[in-house]
A and B are shown apart, each in its own frame.
Chain A
Amino acid sequence: MPIDKDSSAASMDMSTDVLDGSTTMHRLHDHPNGPVSSSPATSQAISNNVAGKDPSDNTPTGQVHDGRAVYFESIEERVVESTKAYPQTSAVSSADMAALQCYRAFELPSRSIKACYIDNFFRYCYPWLPVVEPIWLRETPTQKPSILLLQAVLLAGSRVTTPNDINASVELYARCKALFFSNYEQNPVIRIITCLLMRWWNPAGPDRVCMDSSHFWISTGVSIAVAIGLHEDSAAHAKDASYRRRLWWSAVVSNQLVAVTSSC
């Protein structure tokens, strides 16, 4: 769905992105191929931050600031204009889209299997990774859940479901990986959550170097978290402070556990 420039321009205030979707997604740059395309799912994720409503009702798309708009804050003002210094090359290429179709990245299991995996995720995975709100996975007339987030939750849920359907998990992992590296999902918070959820895949132990291991994914997630300033607990992020704390500590603890037990 094309983004209305006029309406999005009014929301391009990085200090108050209440009505914005992902701040990285909605920046319109002079890109050789035109405006940065956004995934249909996240572009429909309109913030529901109506006064009095539980902030958790917001999808993570509207909750975290990208605080890295400038190189040197002392030289240039931290405004959205500074993000246009050079084109942002994060569009999904036609080749990536073809690959995603090949991986069936947008397909979901049957309703009953999907419900089972999600239920098991919240029953067995959530206490150790309290970073996904149930409402973010629900489809409403105004909002579709992020396909990357949904596939990652299904992957984690599949890993704690009996009987063990390893083929289903293999397919879900492949979809998550393809979606992640295609930049289809550009919201950094969802990408961090996905990295943490990939812990439940972990095909190799510390005796092997593996690019699909939990260590690889958690390291990637922590890198993104630091890049968006998740480790900072400043007044500018007071609105989202609780969720930021949960996400940061989940990343930290996951990283430390994997580091200690995997010798990496």
Chain B
Amino acid sequence: MPLLTPRDFTRETQNRAASSIAYFSISRIFADVGKSYRRKQMTMTKIEQLKNNLYTWVRELPQELRLFHPQIDHGPNSYNFESRQIHVIYFVVLILLLRPSTSSSSTSAGSLLAASFVAALYEEFLIRGEIDHLGPAVHKFYLMTAGITLLSVRRNPLLASEVSKDFRVIIKALKQFSERYPSAMGTIRTLEQLEASQVQSPESSQYLLQLQPEARALFREFGPELCRLWHLLEVSPSTHDQLTDPDRRVATQRMDHPLGSSNMASTMPLAFQSNQGGTADGFVCSGEIYDPTIATVADDLDFFGPYSWSELPNATAWVLKDTPFDIGGDHTLS
């Protein structure tokens, strides 16, 4: 089935077409991430492909749906409720894709930064009274994912203050969400249990893995105004040493230029570059993110999982994978 285009919408609803199309695209990427993890099919190649899809998606967003002005120093765009909802999904995907590829007691700086953005967006929903207007109950999953990532570094003394604020926003949003969707109370309980388990966690769980250059590109369309942890992108070497695990520390490539600089292209790994041509950054930018043949009935219907109660998997298992809260299972990528 071909992908949607604005021509598939009627005259009366044409003005909503952009939001729907962007939402479908980012939701498909999110579903691809979740499916790959749950079926233990996530490979390094797959991760790179998904990162490329994400980059294409955020770069090709219509102006009215972008979070920030094209000139980043002009700050955020005017508030747009639909734009922020679809960006929640974008940052949740970043949380999942940027986490360590192998089991680690550290947390990825990229995941943490994305989690902080999620908290910032929900803080906006809270203050504007829009939690009640959010889409279906899947938002509790987004909040849980961000909350788990924030919790993993709460004991880091350099980050504790901002991370705690972000985490409180997550809990507050969940509590308000639970007034309409009581199932969110289960999510709150999950986070509280994880928070309590941190008391016994080893000190190494407070370390961050540095933000890789290619991951920085995925934050290129955003600025510092929304996120409390934006400074993670501009951390100095001395601060970096305090944040990272001394046993896993590598030389930091200091960013002397703003994210919008063309110097970014030279740091892009080959996995992000296309032999088919594209933008000056070397990314493939096209309207076709997905191969239409992917959307087969068998593929989509394969989500029908087991029906036996004893076979129902733990809902949070794949989300906890490769986080400091992951206590078992095959952690290595294929």
Binding site for B on A (CB under 8 A): 54, 56, 120, 123-128, 130, 133-135, 159-162, 164, 166, 199-200, 202-209, 214, 219, 222, 226, 231-233, 241-246, 248-250, 252-253, 255-264
CA A205 to CA B295, docked complex, whole Å? 27
Contact residue among B8, B35, B129 (Cβ-Cβ distance under 8 Å from A242)? B8
Q: Is B179 an interface residue (CB 8 A)?
A: yes
B31 touches A199 (CB 8 A): no
A260 touches B34 (CB 8 A): yes
B12 touches A56 (CB 8 A): yes
A249 touches B24 (CB 8 A): yes
B181 contacts across to A, CB distance below 8 A: 202
A125 touches B183 (CB 8 A): no
A199 contacts across to B, CB distance below 8 A: 136
- Extra contacts, 20 of them, besides A246-B4, A246-B20 (Cβ < 8 A), are A123-B133, A127-B16, A127-B20, A130-B16, A133-B13, A134-B12, A202-B136, A203-B183, A205-B315, A214-B136, A233-B1, A253-B24, A256-B27, A256-B31, A258-B138, A259-B304, A259-B305, A263-B315, A264-B305, A264-B312
CA A63 to CA B68, docked complex, whole Å? 41
Interface string of B1-30 (1 = CB under 8 A from A): 111100111111100110110011001101
B27 touches A219 (CB 8 A): no
Number of A-B residue pairs with CB-CB distance less than 8 Å in the complex they form: 149
**Chain B residues within 8 Å of chain A by Cβ, number:** 56
Q: Is B180 an interface residue (CB 8 A)?
A: yes
Q: Is B237 an interface residue (CB 8 A)?
A: no
Given A54-B10, A214-B136, A261-B138, do A231 and B1 touch, yes or no (CB 8 Å)? yes
Interface string of B33-45 (1 = CB under 8 A from A): 0110010000000
Distance to closest chain A CB from B302 (angstroms): 9
Distance to closest chain A CB from B61 (angstroms): 14
B12 touches A204 (CB 8 A): no
A207 touches B315 (CB 8 A): yes
A260 touches B38 (CB 8 A): yes
Q: Is B210 an interface residue (CB 8 A)?
A: no
Q: Which 3 interchain pairs have the tightest Cβ spacing?
A: A260-B34, A205-B183, A259-B303
Distance to closest chain A CB from B149 (angstroms): 16
Distance to closest chain A CB from B44 (angstroms): 21
A164 contacts across to B, CB distance below 8 A: 132, 179-180
Interface string of B199-236 (1 = CB under 8 A from A): 00000000000000000000000000000000000000
A207 contacts across to B, CB distance below 8 A: 183, 186, 315
Contact residue among A127, A249, A255, A261 (Cβ-Cβ distance under 8 Å from B82)? A127
Q: Is B154 an interface residue (CB 8 A)?
A: no
12 inter-chain pairs at a CB distance below 8 angstroms, sorted by A residue, are A128-B135, A128-B136, A160-B134, A214-B137, A246-B20, A252-B295, A252-B300, A259-B305, A260-B30, A261-B315, A263-B313, A264-B312
Nearest chain-B residue to A214 (Cβ)?
B136
Distance to closest chain A CB from B313 (angstroms): 5
CA A24 to CA B125, docked complex, whole Å? 45
Contact residue among A219, A241, A260 (Cβ-Cβ distance under 8 Å from B35)? A260
**Interface core residue of A130, A203, A264 (most chain B CB under 10 Å):** A130
A56 touches B10 (CB 8 A): yes
B1 touches A245 (CB 8 A): yes
Distance to closest chain A CB from B188 (angstroms): 11
B82 contacts across to A, CB distance below 8 A: 127
B31 contacts across to A, CB distance below 8 A: 253, 256-257, 259-260
Nearest chain-A residue to B314 (Cβ)?
A263
**Interface core residue of B16, B20, B295 (most chain A CB under 10 Å):** B20
A252 contacts across to B, CB distance below 8 A: 295, 300
A127 contacts across to B, CB distance below 8 A: 16, 19-20, 23, 82
Contact residue among B12, B13, B300, B313 (Cβ-Cβ distance under 8 Å from A255)? B300
A222 touches B301 (CB 8 A): yes
Nearest chain-A residue to B129 (Cβ)?
A162
Q: Is B297 an interface residue (CB 8 A)?
A: yes
B13 contacts across to A, CB distance below 8 A: 126, 130, 133-134
B315 touches A262 (CB 8 A): yes
A246 touches B27 (CB 8 A): no
Distance to closest chain B CB from A264 (angstroms): 5
Interface string of B293-334 (1 = CB under 8 A from A): 001010011011100010011110100000000000000000
CA A264 to CA B82, docked complex, whole Å? 27
Given A202-B137, A253-B27, do A248 and B179 touch, yes or no (CB 8 Å)? no
Contact residue among A200, A206, A248, A255 (Cβ-Cβ distance under 8 Å from B315)? A206
